[in-house]
Chains A and B, each alone.
Chain A
């Protein structure tokens, strides 16, 4: 008999250091801060690309202001020898081109006494105390060029920084050169000047050393959550996408513009979100797998049409990359506050399913799940992503599980029956009549209708149709009873229930907190209640952890089951929750 294995997500033994080489850490966190034009995002992107080539895992989150272009921006990278879905609480290397740009990130950046802080040689300000540790001797490097006391244009700071960091991390300069050659292949002049600046940065004498973790030696693969969503959808059989630009979801559409036509599909940039959702329903009416992606304001505009999708029984997948709301809110900031809207939004009674996306890697899996439910049960499925994972760039294993194309049961003249909206269909679902099929013509309607689809104001029929449509939820609940994840020791006395991108933090947090176990539904509505009840058995306390002001998930669960005694651990979004903060919030809640 073989011993049971545990998932190897966070191995606890250190790899052996090479003789003579400085010890390699398991993970390393870098923060890069600058102003618009400093190219902080590109620098982070290049470093992450280099890490992937080295066979390192890692992730990068970006932080920028409400204007989205320009202003202060920060990139936080974590590199590790294992998959990570959380950027950590403290940075090991902080590179800041101008100290005054740091202030904006007061709530999200912390250093420790061993951190290396890199600042400009001409910097006159002190490294601020709020960073959490006293940095007496920051490392100074001449990033900026001055004439008569004023900063003037010089070599690109991000390329100087790339050379310097490459050196500090113990990477060969050829690694940086290769990635620059790839990135700037079409721009020879820019490449040449970048290579020169890289060399200048790399040539510095005796920089502080902070070796990167040991890579696997074979190349890994980096993508963002939005890219993973786009690619997961193509794998599920996506044939039509319509969308409208909105932060933080636009990259779903941008990726599909590049990749869907080659897979035989089509993308439309619509005039607004109502049109986008309308086009999705039109394509779905035509028998084609269709989806849209948006954020909270777009979801609001689509809501009438999501009801139509359910009423006319047209499959549709809607990805909501949540941002801090309401109204315009904080477009570039994350939050989990569209849960109520996704589950309850819209007038009248109608069934729909709601899925939560855990992390970038999960994007490839959650989308086929969404299409599976939408196509099989002929209703809208909302996938809740958020700014934290949508725009996060993540290194993952290149192997992606093959996915079956989701199928919609088709009506043919041979099977003849039943009527399009027959009330007796199993789980309330009848074969779909695809335009072009002889003899299959029918009326799809947003107005209440009889079994043929023709308008009716018969109140008995309205009741029967509601019963028919809501029977789908029973079928979905049975089919998705295993769509959840648990973390930690199943016998631990304390429990956390959470959803969506909080997974990334909890995955690591629970290792350091063995007295806790965690339950995270992948399908939030209908909720996998049976699994949850069995998971919560024997708990002495329960906390519902989420990133919104009202405690929406706590309230939702309270309506489904007896949640007396459970604590709501919720705060407004903006920044994702950190491990230290979760400790504090749980303590305050008395858990």
Chain B
């Protein structure tokens, strides 16, 4: 039994999210996973950009940073590279991550900075009141008269897989035990880990939207081999959403411990940087 509880990772602040928002599930699943792993709150950093889900760091008891739109990954990378002993989690939405901040994703993956990046993907801009995001379906845009009907949605899982991400999981904000399990696995993975969290927006989509997405989800079968990249690519392209660890490469080159000096244009490797850290 863990000595920590999920509420040990909560600040006193009450979330401002709408009732029924998937963000509550992400906050719950994340804090549960942190408690399971007994990560000391003072060694935890939760970092975000801007958006509804980017409010999350303020609700955690951690060294939290609610920064600016689209730039959470570089900020978290800088922290983790300067202070490798700090467990670093990045949270955000599909607009923050896949639109304004997209350019940073492949590079954070290339660098293989040892952090967990969770995107709550509800396919809408909630905070700015309902504009289309890069993952909004074309039919939805047509029905609602949103901009970009001609633009096809982005496939985030395919994107991170093709960028060489060593750990890719997908889950749904409505399935708490699965969220907790995925976050735990991602936090334990030594290297850059990506968690795609499917969700809905109760305000700018239909109240049943999240359930409808969930109807399109299947848990991966027990027999699924997450070490098979081409299989993972197939799964990422499928009509229905598979939930689980879609891909996990053996951690042969985790950025925080390996000697792959210079490979991602980082000098020196973390292993070589033996110096006093300001937090210790």
A308 to B86, CA, bound (A): 22
Residue A266 is within 8 A (CB to CB) of chain B in the complex: yes
Mark contacts of B242-278 with chain A using CB atoms, 8 A cut-off: 1 yes-contact digit, 0 otherwise.
0000000000000000000000011110001111011
In the assembled complex, the CB of A302 is this many whole angstroms from the nearest CB of chain B, namely: 11
A261 to B266, CA, bound (A): 10
Residue B18 is within 8 A (CB to CB) of chain A in the complex: no
A436 to B63, CA, bound (A): 8
Contacts of B267 in A (CB 8 A): 257, 260-261, 266-268
Contacts of B67 in A (CB 8 A): 278, 281, 308, 312, 444-446
Of the listed stretches A138-146, A223-231, A283-291, name the one at the interface; the rest are far from the partner chain.
A283-291
Considering the complex, which residues of chain A in the window 66-91 have a beta carbon less than 8 Å from any beta carbon of chain B?
Answer: none
Residue A184 is within 8 A (CB to CB) of chain B in the complex: no
A12 to B73, CA, bound (A): 59
Contacts of B47 in A (CB 8 A): 282
A285 near B104 with CB under 8 A, answer no
B63 near A282 with CB under 8 A, answer no
B280 near A436 with CB under 8 A, answer yes
B66 near A447 with CB under 8 A, answer yes
Residue A466 is within 8 A (CB to CB) of chain B in the complex: no
Residue B148 is within 8 A (CB to CB) of chain A in the complex: no
Closest B residue by C-beta to A281: B75
Residue B65 is within 8 A (CB to CB) of chain A in the complex: yes
In the assembled complex, the CB of B186 is this many whole angstroms from the nearest CB of chain A, namely: 20
User: Which residue from B50, B74, B268 sits with its C-beta under 8 Å from A279?
Assistant: B74
Residue B221 is within 8 A (CB to CB) of chain A in the complex: no
Contacts of A445 in B (CB 8 A): 58, 65-67
User: Which residue from A260, A267, A282, A455 sits with its C-beta under 8 Å from B66?
Assistant: A455
In the assembled complex, the CB of A450 is this many whole angstroms from the nearest CB of chain B, namely: 11
User: Which residue from B42, B71, B82, B107 sits with its C-beta under 8 Å from A441?
Assistant: B42
A305 to B13, CA, bound (A): 26
Residue A442 is within 8 A (CB to CB) of chain B in the complex: yes
In the assembled complex, the CB of B40 is this many whole angstroms from the nearest CB of chain A, namely: 8
Contacts of B55 in A (CB 8 A): 455
In the assembled complex, the CB of B277 is this many whole angstroms from the nearest CB of chain A, namely: 7
Contacts of B273 in A (CB 8 A): 261, 264-266
Chain A contributes a number of interface residues (CB within 8 A of B) equal to: 54
Residue A487 is within 8 A (CB to CB) of chain B in the complex: no
A276 to B81, CA, bound (A): 13
A433 to B278, CA, bound (A): 11
Mark contacts of A18-54 with chain B using CB atoms, 8 A cut-off: 1 yes-contact digit, 0 otherwise.
0000000000000000000000000000000000000
Residue B178 is within 8 A (CB to CB) of chain A in the complex: no
A271 to B104, CA, bound (A): 7
A433 to B62, CA, bound (A): 11
Interface hub of B13, B66, B86 (most chain A Cβ within 10 A): B66
Contacts of A540 in B (CB 8 A): none
In the assembled complex, the CB of B54 is this many whole angstroms from the nearest CB of chain A, namely: 10
Contacts of A277 in B (CB 8 A): 74
A283 near B57 with CB under 8 A, answer no
A287 near B64 with CB under 8 A, answer no
A441 near B41 with CB under 8 A, answer yes
A284 to B66, CA, bound (A): 15
A453 to B111, CA, bound (A): 31
Contacts of A287 in B (CB 8 A): 83, 278-279
User: Which residue from B64, B66, B83, B274 sits with its C-beta under 8 Å from A286?
Assistant: B83
Contact flag A444-B65 (CB < 8 Å), given A239-B82, A266-B82: yes
Question: Can you list 18 A-B contacts (CB < 8 A)?
Answer: A240-B82, A264-B274, A266-B266, A274-B74, A275-B71, A275-B77, A277-B74, A278-B73, A279-B74, A279-B75, A281-B78, A286-B82, A286-B278, A288-B278, A290-B82, A308-B68, A435-B83, A455-B58
Residues of chain A whose beta carbon lies under 8 Å from any beta carbon of chain B: 239-240, 242, 257, 260-261, 264-272, 274-288, 290, 304-305, 308, 312, 410, 433-447, 453-455
- 16 additional A-B pairs beyond A278-B77, A446-B68, beta carbons within 8 Å, are A240-B82, A261-B272, A261-B273, A268-B111, A268-B265, A275-B103, A275-B104, A277-B74, A278-B78, A282-B78, A285-B63, A286-B279, A287-B279, A435-B279, A436-B43, A446-B66
